Amino acid sequence: EPEVTQTPSHQVTQMGQEVILRCVPISNHLYFYWYRQILGQKVEFLVSFYNNEISEKSEIFDDQFSVERPDGSNFTLKIRSTKLEDSAMYFCASTGDSETQYFGPGTRLLVL
Amino acid sequence: QKEVEQDPGPLSVPEGAIVSLNCTYSNSAFQYFMWYRQYSRKGPELLMYTYSSGNKEDGRFTAQVDKSSKYISLFIRDSQPSDSATYLCAMRVGGGFKTIFGAGTRLFVKA
Hey, are the CB atoms on A44 and B44 less than 8 Å from each other? no
- DSSP H or E run through B101: strand B100-101
Residues in chain A with CB shorter than 8 Å from the CB of B36 are 103
The answer to whether the Cβ–Cβ distance between A48 and B98 falls below 8 Å is yes
Tell me what pLDDT residue A56 has: 92
Please give the pLDDT value at position B63.
Answer: 96
SS3 category, A85 = helix
Residue B28 has pLDDT above 70, yes or no: yes
Instruction: Note whether A7 contacts B: Cβ–Cβ < 8 A.
Output: no
Question: How many whole angstroms separate alpha carbon A41 and alpha carbon A36?
Answer: 10
Contact criterion met (CB < 8 Å) for B100 and A103: no
What Rg do the C-alpha atoms of chain B give, in angstroms? Answer: 13
- A10-13 and A107-111 as β-strands: parallel, antiparallel, unpaired? parallel
Q: Which residues does residue A22 pair with via DSSP β-bridges, in sequence order?
A: A7, A76
Q: How far apart are CA B6 and CA B20, in angstroms?
A: 12
Q: What is the pLDDT of residue B1?
A: 66
- Rounded CA-CA distance B34/B74 in Å is 10
Q: Is the pLDDT of residue B101 over 60?
A: yes
Contact predicate A95/A104, CB 8 Å: no
**Over chain A (112 residues), what is each successive 10-residue block's mean pLDDT?**
91 97 93 94 94 93 94 92 97 82 94 97
Decide if B42 and A106 are in contact by the 8 Å CB cutoff.
yes
Three-state SS at A50: strand
pLDDT at B2 over 70: yes
- Given a contact cutoff of 8 angstroms between Cβ atoms, the answer to whether B99 and B34 are in contact is yes
Beta bridge partners of B5: B24
Q: What phi, psi does B83 have (nearest 5°)?
A: -80, -10
pLDDT of A20: 97
Q: With bands split at pLDDT 50, 70 and 90, how would you rate the model's confidence at B52?
A: confident
Selected residue with higher pLDDT from A36 and B97: A36
Cα(A109)–Cα(A83) distance, integer angstroms:
11
pLDDT value of residue B24: 97
Interface of A with B in 45-104 (CB under 8 A): 45, 48, 50, 55-56, 58, 89, 91, 98-104
Q: For residue A104, give the amino acid letter.
A: G
Residues of chain A positioned with their CB less than 8 A from the CB of B103:
41-42
